[in-house]
Amino acid sequence: MKQGYFVTGTDTGVGKTLIAAALIHKFAQSGLGSVGMKPVAAGARLAGECLLNEDVEQLIGAGNVEALLALVNPYVFEPPIAPHIAARQVGVDISIGTIEAAFKSLGELADVVIVEGAGGFLVPLGDTEDMADLASLLSLPVILVVGMRLGCLNHALLTVEAIRSRGLRLAGWVANSLEPGMTNFNENLAGLRQRIDAPCLGVVPWISGAGYQQAADYIERPGSR
């Protein structure tokens, strides 16, 4: 593995998968072996004998490296609820050591591994560990997806503070529009640019039904400047 990034968001439903898949796609377009990973997914359907999460399908579709589903998505749960609650309901303990081993295996297959977290940066994975602990264990630079809506300034700045409190590098952030015609969009964007000491990798406009290929047109690969 030459490069790896951990994609987190200011909250759930802010477009982490869209941006993670767009990054995977951009790296693949540049000629690098690119693969996505979603260590923990909650909300899945039965496909044959496997549970398959929609976000995981999108990450797989964006890449150009074949990998076992168990490596791309080590933990998957059927109900679309907080991962630690879903795991508890089926008697499973989420082990970040297991996730680390899967990540290392993906790194042997690909030039670039994009890891997408679940929910926000501090979402619990169990009684004592959370998504931030996983990001720290993997020691990856972090890319923050900011969902552009009312409250995004506070959510973004708190998340940036949490990322840096773990000693992790913020490689950049992406402003993702969640609705058409957000009030004072430009003013909020300017506030984020002023206060986040990391490159803005892109501003993705609200496009009804847009996929990761379209989103990729509005973002740049980290470190490409």
Q: How confident is the model over 28-55, as pLDDT tens digits?
A: 999 999 999 999 999 998 887 788 999 9
pLDDT for 48 equals 78
Chain CA centroid to CA 11, Å? 11
pLDDT for 184 equals 95
- CATH topology for 3-216 is Rossmann fold (3.40.50)
- Per-residue pLDDT tens digits for 63-99: 999 999 999 999 999 999 999 999 999 999 999 999 9
Mean of all residue pLDDT scores within the chain: 95
Enumerate the domain spans of the chain: 3-216
Q: Is 183 helix (H, G, I), strand (E, B) or coil?
A: coil
Three-class HEC string of 29-94: HCCCCEEEECCEEECCEEECCEEECHHHHHHHHHCCCCCCHHHHCCEEECCCCCHHHHHHHCCCCC
Catalytic residue set:
38
